[in-house]
């Protein structure tokens, strides 16, 4: 069960980084900020605002769809080790869920994910 949990967390982290979810989310947020600034701009006419907002909305929709698909793929990747282990009869998903929601496991997982960037920055790069 612990091996499946560690693999699941590793798959989650690798998929999250590999699919560049954080940079995509930042790009989506920036696109929406630009849209709000267009709405607030008093120097633009309504026609100009409409034209610019159409462009921003198409870009935002594409980013939202991309982030949504990437998150779905990330969670599917994280679920894969658990699904394989359950099909092989090595664990029961209810027991796995109960294990993964234990406070000590949640705290340890958050601590590892929070410390990972710091730990990576301490590794020598050759």
For residue range 48-74, list pLDDT tens digits in order: 999 999 999 999 999 999 999 999 999
Q: Give the C-alpha separation, 98 to 51, whole Å.
A: 51
Q: How far apart are CA 122 and CA 106, in angstroms?
A: 24
Report the pLDDT averaged over residues 76-98.
Answer: 93
> Is the predicted pLDDT of residue 113 greater than 90, yes or no?
no
| Structural Rg of the chain based on CA atoms | 21
Looking at the chain, the number of H-run helices and the number of E-run strands are 5, 0
Phi-psi region of 20 (alpha: psi -120 to 50; beta: other; left: phi over 0): left
Residues 69/24, Cβ–Cβ less than 8 Å:
no
């Amino acid at each position: 069960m612990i091996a499946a949990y560690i693999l699941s967390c590793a798959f989650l982290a690798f998929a999250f980084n590999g699919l560049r979810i954080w940079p995509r989310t930042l790009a989506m947020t920036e696109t929406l900020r630009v849209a709000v600034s267009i709405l607030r701009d008093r120097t633009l006419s309504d026609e100009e605002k409409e034209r610019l907002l159409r462009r921003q909305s198409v870009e935002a929709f594409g980013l939202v769809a991309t982030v949504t698909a990437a998150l779905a793929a990330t969670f599917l990747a994280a679920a894969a080790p658990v699904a394989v282990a359950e099909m092989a009869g090595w664990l029961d998903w209810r027991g796995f869920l109960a294990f993964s929601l234990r406070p000590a496991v949640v705290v340890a997982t958050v601590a590892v994910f929070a410390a990972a960037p710091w730990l990576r920055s301490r590794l020598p790069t050759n």
